[in-house]
Structure 1
Amino acid sequence: MGFFTDSLGRQTVAQKPNAPILGWALFGAASFMALEERNRERLRLASSVCLGVWAALEVISGQSGFRRSSGALTLSWLLRKVR
């Protein structure tokens, strides 16, 4: 199994987006359009939560080393951002 392939030899870098990553993108885009700061902050938080869920899922069940590493790096970045 290579860094970019799963146990069956299939390339796993680019895959169809799942719900958490779509939520991250949609909430993130909506935060730019929100008129009130309170709403912008709530949408940014929802976006970050979705990204954290995606990252945790990739660390736990990512199909390749690349995807697990991407999840771990994203989780570490989010945790540093919280401090």
Structure 2
Amino acid sequence: MTLDTIVQECGAERFLEELGNKLITGTYRPPACRTERDSETGCEDSSLGIPVIADRVVDIDIQGYFDNIPHEKLIRA
């Protein structure tokens, strides 16, 4: 799903609200990595690990959360 698809189909606010609800309820599960044929080897089992938009949003949100906690406090926890 691309960003354009999200905006056109459900809107960014609704997408973020649904994603937030899944995170709060513990039902968010990231999809499996995309598997594509490696152009150099021709091997189809090459997992590229391309994150979907939801993964990136969650990653940035978590990073922002921990960036606001002093390093000393994280070490003591």
One fold, TM greater than 0.5?
no
Query: TM-score, length-normalised on structure 1?
Result: 0.31
Q: Which has the higher contact order (CA 8 A, sep 6+)?
A: 1
Query: TM-score, length-normalised on structure 2?
Result: 0.32
Between Structure 1 and Structure 2, whose CA radius of gyration is higher? 2
